[in-house]
Amino acid sequence: MCNRKKAVDDAKKKPDDDCKAKKTCPEDLRIRITPKKVEYVVVLDKDGNPPAAYPILEFDITDGPPGYAVDVQIARDAPGLLADRLARQSRWQKDKPPPERVPKQLFSSQLNGDTVTLDGAGTATYKMPLDWWKDQARRPRKEFTTAKMYYRAVASQHPSQEPSVWSTKDGDTAPNVPVHNNLVKADVISSPIDAGYPAPGLNKPVDMIFTVREAGTTDMYNIVQWKKGDFELWPQLPPGTPRYGAVTDYNLAHRAHNPDWTIDRLLTDPRYWSDGYYISADKKTATATDAPGILGLGTATTHAFINFDFDTRIHLNFEIPGSVTITSQTGSAPVYDRVEGKIAPPEPFILDRTYWDARILAVRAADGTLTVTHPATFAGP
């Protein structure tokens, strides 16, 4: 009787009951992946390293089969990429230059060459690569406020095999962890500081500012300002020959005539304010003041017109080189005819930028008094 009952029970038994009892059926196998923090902010110091208080995105992997090889997959703002095998061909690749890497939304630890193997307890940890983290910081502010990093882990007995264990199946929406941009604002605004600039209109000085999300991290960024234009003087000597005032860039005095964009910097360091910003009380806003103006005219000059456009750019501090590359230096000391400089390739990523201009006309009367106005153009007296 007992044998007959056992035969009936065996007949009713489903083929996969044994694997279910042993928790080895593919549909029952799962692995868990959890971010170590519920949200992250991309913060780097002036040298490009993550401060201890702002770690790189990292995961705990648990409940997997011991010894299995794990692939940690990330899809930035696009969960569907996790199931798109073709998308793997356009994934983030460490051997590519940053301009090619930054736009990539899909990441695979296994295809990145990282070995992640579950230990005897079926656990592991995985930290995203530093270069990948830097690439998130390189994204322009207007494109990146908060990114949703959709994540999953898949595993197999050998990296060459198809996954048999997963935290989120193909077609299901994976969980995400928010990653925030540390740069929240950048602008050039009229300065409240009275620097003796008398006239209305395109009045200067201006404040070049940027604001960060996390207090005390403004040194993650810096400003490089570019200029194009000239500082022309009248009367022309000889008549019909343009005459330009003298300025100093990169410690070289030269005539203020720059028909092409050049770095606007007195010193050789291209950082506009390398000697220190004014930092707000909450340690979140850095401010540098620029005050283009006419300090005085020589006795042989009756008219002077400053006609400069400016491009104020925010960069990651660690990407800005230590010195301007001089691309043009004509004439001779003490005042060169032309001096222009740029940043040697690769140029740093532009995280934000503001265009502004200075149009300053000074006219000296016979008694020596100056009248300053701000016409859009001035062709001469």
Q: What is the DSSP string of 88-107?
A: GGGS--TTS-HHHHTT--EE
Range with lowest mean pLDDT among 38-52, 190-204, 303-317 = 190-204
Considering 132, 157, 181, which residue would you say is the last residue of a domain? 181
Q: Give residue 89's pLDDT band: very low, low, confident or very high (50, 70, 90).
A: confident
Q: pLDDT per residue over 266-281, tens digit each?
A: 999 999 887 689 999 9
Percent of the chain at pLDDT exceeding 70? 87
Does any domain span residue 290?
yes
Q: What pLDDT shows up at residue 204?
A: 59
DSSP string, 142-185: GG-SEEEEEEEEEEESSTTSPP-EESS-TTSPPPEEEEEESEEE
Name the residue with higher pLDDT: 10 or 353.
Answer: 353
Does any domain span residue 229?
yes
In this structure, the answer to whether residues 361 and 239 fall within a common structural domain is: yes
In this structure, the answer to whether residues 234 and 155 fall within a common structural domain is: no
DSSP 3-state assignment of 10? Answer: helix
Does any domain span residue 281?
yes
Considering 155, 181, 207, which residue would you say is the last residue of a domain? 181
Does any domain span residue 5?
no
pLDDT of 146 strictly over 60: yes
pLDDT of 7 strictly over 60: no
> Chain-wide mean pLDDT for the chain?
88
Q: In terms of C-beta density within 10 A (0-12 exposed, 13-18 middle, 19 or more buried), how is residue 92 classed? A: buried
Domain of 102, CATH number, reads 2.20.130.20
In this structure, the answer to whether residues 176 and 194 fall within a common structural domain is: no
Q: pLDDT per residue over 103-113, tens digit each?
A: 999 999 999 99
pLDDT of 6 strictly over 50: no
Q: pLDDT per residue over 218-272, tens digit each?
A: 999 999 999 999 999 999 988 889 999 999 999 999 999 999 999 999 999 999 8
CA-based max dimension of the chain: 129
Tell me what the mean pLDDT of segment 170-189 comes to. 94
In this structure, the answer to whether residues 223 and 292 fall within a common structural domain is: yes
Range with lowest mean pLDDT among 19-33, 48-62, 166-180 = 19-33
In this structure, the answer to whether residues 193 and 174 fall within a common structural domain is: no
Q: pLDDT per residue over 113-134, tens digit each?
A: 999 999 999 999 999 999 999 9
In this structure, the answer to whether residues 173 and 188 fall within a common structural domain is: no
pTM: predicted TM-score of the whole model, two decimal places: 0.87
Does any domain span residue 302?
yes
pLDDT of 80 strictly over 80: yes
Does any domain span residue 172?
yes
In this structure, the answer to whether residues 190 and 176 fall within a common structural domain is: no
In this structure, the answer to whether residues 113 and 74 fall within a common structural domain is: yes
Does any domain span residue 39?
yes
Q: Give residue 192's pLDDT band: very low, low, confident or very high (50, 70, 90).
A: low
pLDDT of 24 strictly over 50: no
In this structure, the answer to whether residues 207 and 130 fall within a common structural domain is: no
User: Which runs of E-coded beta strand occur in 21-134?
Assistant: 32-35, 40-42, 58-62, 69-76, 106-108, 124-127
Please give the helix or strand (H or E) that residue 87 lies within, else none. none
- Cis upstream peptide for 235 (omega within 30°): yes
Does any domain span residue 18?
no
Tell me what the mean pLDDT of segment 150-173 comes to. 91
In this structure, the answer to whether residues 175 and 221 fall within a common structural domain is: no
Distance CA 361, CA 358 (A): 10
Tell me what the mean pLDDT of segment 71-83 comes to. 94
Q: What pLDDT shows up at residue 368?
A: 81
In this structure, the answer to whether residues 99 and 248 fall within a common structural domain is: no
In this structure, the answer to whether residues 210 and 161 fall within a common structural domain is: no
Q: What pLDDT shows up at residue 325?
A: 97
Domain interval for residue 286: 184-373
Considering 138, 154, 181, which residue would you say is the last residue of a domain? 181
CB 77 within 8 A of CB 147: yes
Count: domains in the chain? 2
Range with lowest mean pLDDT among 207-211, 266-270, 296-300 = 296-300
